[in-house]
Amino acid sequence: MLDPRVTRLAEMICGYSCDLSSSDHLLIHAFDIPEEAVAEFVRVAQGTGARVAVRLESNIVRRQLMLGMIEANASLIAQVEKYEMEQMTAYIALRGSHNVTELADVSGEINNLWSRVYATPVVFQTRVPKTKWAALRWPTPGMAQQAGMSTAAFEKFYFDVCTLDYRKMEEAVKPLVDLMNRTDRVRLVGPGTDMSFSIQGIGAVPCTGHRNIPDGECFSAPVRESCNGEITFNTVSLYQGTEFSGIHYKMKDGKIIHAEAGANTAKLNEILDTDEGARYIGEWSLGFNPYVLHPMKDTLFDEKIAGSFHFTPGNAYDPPGGNGNKSSIHWDTVMIQRPEYGGGEVWFDDVLIRKDGIFVIDSLLGLNPDRLG
């Protein structure tokens, strides 16, 4: 019997996030998702009148494909999938995984090749700017294990987080968007962190359930050459199949001039050397989902943690919210500033706007967990 929570999630994604109608061509792209769940998303999407196409993939198959990847093969796949994406007005990604490190033995060289030859034209140049899209993970025992929870408890958490009242959040974030649009200088302070940059003229974009699910952030980007200082991240980041902890950057005139991550320092620098734009920051964002409180090594969840921010080496989104930086990587790396994670402060033009993860000015109090939860 189909879990009714799946139907509720499909209805929210199709009806609210992507706002599907009879004018839409939708691609549902599913990795390792139960077939009955994919079928329910198809049924709900068809109910809107949208024309639906489906692409089913497997991470085990993807691993083998990547192990033997050459540039000509990546180019062929990119041509096919770019054409497919150009026919779509909407895209829903359902990303499951039986093993979150399935791709861990794919070399950095191949990952960089794939990012450059496939991700740049298909994802960053076509899907992101030209479709209504929503991307979400799928709850699995492996994700529950990452989160330190039982499977049943994690599934409840997952559906609560993914189907919260995003319309309420959409209203609550408006004062923050206005404030960020008027802000020049940002300063981030915390353990091992004192970073300053400008967001003047970049613009702010609220994320309240229309793209990544779960949602709950407002992003902008530093003026490309404006970052100066150092930053130390207190969450483990899983990227290209490798776990990175204790990531520390020193930045000068916008560029990461020193990067370390313990035993994976060499791998970190290999990723940051993918291309010229990889050592510049393409996104900066404040997270405020009231139900996501602790990291689980999954970016779509971790970047929304209440009282967090994330910093993103690599590609920027198009304006508003983007600074023009181009790269084939986009790596959201999270710092939590609540007291149990060491605390921290966010300053806008020398005014303290968030302390220890809690917004402290009147216009932003509606974004705190006690109001959104």
Structure tokens at 72: 């000509």
Rounded mean pLDDT of 91-119?
92
> Where are the domain boundaries for CATH 3.40.1830.10 in the chain?
4-162
The alpha carbon dihedral of 348, 352, 356, 360 has a sign of negative
Predicted confidence at residue 306, as pLDDT, reads 98
Least confident of 234-238, 240-244, 274-278: 240-244
pLDDT of 241: 83
Q: Provide the pLDDT confidence category of residue 21 given band limits of 50, 70 and 90.
A: very high
User: What pLDDT, in 10s, does the model give residues 311-361?
Assistant: 999 999 999 999 999 999 999 999 999 999 999 999 999 999 999 999 999
> pLDDT confidence of 276, banded at 50, 70, 90?
very high
The pLDDT value recorded for residue 91 is 98
Average pLDDT for residues 140-163, to the nearest whole number? 91
The model's pLDDT over 52-88, given as tens digits with 9 standing for 90+, comes to 999 999 999 999 999 999 999 999 999 999 999 999 9
- Using alpha carbons only, what angle is made at residue 15 by residues 12 and 19, rounded to the nearest 5 degrees? 130
Strand arrangement of the beta sheet that strand 90-95 belongs to:
51-57, 25-31, 90-95, 132-137, 212-213
Q: With 90 as the cut, is the pLDDT of residue 300 above it?
A: no
Q: Does pLDDT of 1 surpass 90?
A: no
Please give the pLDDT value at position 142.
85
DSSP category for residue 279:
G
Name the CATH superfamily, with its identifier, for domain 4-162. Answer: Thermophilic metalloprotease (M29) (3.40.1830.10)
Helix (H) or strand (E) segment spanning residue 253: none
Specify whether the CB–CB gap between 358 and 367 falls below 8 A: no
Greater confidence, 352 or 99?
352
Q: What is the mean pLDDT of residues 215-230?
A: 98
Burial class (CB in 10 A: 0-12, 13-18, 19+), 80: exposed
Indicate the pLDDT class of residue 373, thresholds 50, 70 and 90: confident
Contact 305, 329 (CB under 8 A): no
pLDDT at residue 352, rounded to an integer: 98
| Residue 15 confidence (pLDDT) | 95
Least confident piece of the model among 140-149, 288-297, 303-312:
140-149
Instruction: Tell me what pLDDT residue 101 has.
Output: 86
- When pLDDT is cut at 50, 70 and 90, the band that residue 146 belongs to is confident
